[in-house]
Amino acid sequence: MNDHQKIIGVVGGMGPEATASFFYKLIRSTEVKKDQDHYRIFIDNNPKIPDRTKAILGEGENPLPALIATAKNVEKAGADVIAVPCITSNYFLADVQKEVNTPIANVFEALATYLSTKEKNVQKVGVLCTTGTRKMALFQKNLPFDICYPSDRSQETKVMEAIYGIDGIKQGNTGIAPKRLLQEAALELIDNGVDVIISGCTEIELALKQEDVEIPLIDPMQVLAESLTRE
């Protein structure tokens, strides 16, 4: 590693466990021989940022001011690039970028490159994500593939229940209950002929693992971590 290695800033807290998982991905994605080879990373774990999905659906406070303030924090700390481990927040990131000079890493660009180079002959992509991400068509707008989602009913009773429900991931549960719901939603996508499934919410990869589905399961935050740790 060179002496001028970039410093990574992370706008975190959406949610905290997803941020911790992303931090670990950055560490594990870096080729090192000693501690000093790792990247310097500034993380502002700010769980006070209002819920992105509720805001998009018109049911909650706008998270943009808090996102901007948090991005400015890691910029002031010295970050050369900013990563945001929350897919739904991408709806707001163009406006955040207007307020900071430090570039915000684009997870969709990293994902498109990965799918085009690492996963051959991908045409139909299944996505498990929040209703906010789905409603704003973030994956359709940013990926050059046929995007497929679970049915509207499965979206609410399986995917959103797994993320936000009483036994959901945001309640601190990453065990069998959310896993089963996500597996059922994934099976629906597989039955619809998708080539790969994307964990389109940072919470999902905490419960649903590759061994739980029979086709490639892509974690955008792993892809982003790998792209950030290649100098």
Q: 38 and 30 in contact (C-beta within 8 Å)?
A: yes
The type of residue at 17 is E
- Residue 201 makes CB contacts below 8 A (sequence gap 6+) with 87, 88, 128, 129, 130, 133, 163
- Which one from 11, 56, 86, 122 is the annotated catalytic residue? 86
What is the rounded CA–CA span in Å between residue 129 and residue 52? 12
Q: Is 129 a catalytic residue?
A: no
- Which one from 74, 107, 160, 201 is the annotated catalytic residue? 201
Q: 111 and 223 in contact (C-beta within 8 Å)?
A: yes
How is residue 98 written in tokens? 């207007």
DSSP string, 161-198: HHHHSTTSGGGT--SHHHHHHHHHHHHHHHHTT-SEEE
Q: Is 86 a catalytic residue?
A: yes
Residues with catalytic roles: 86, 201
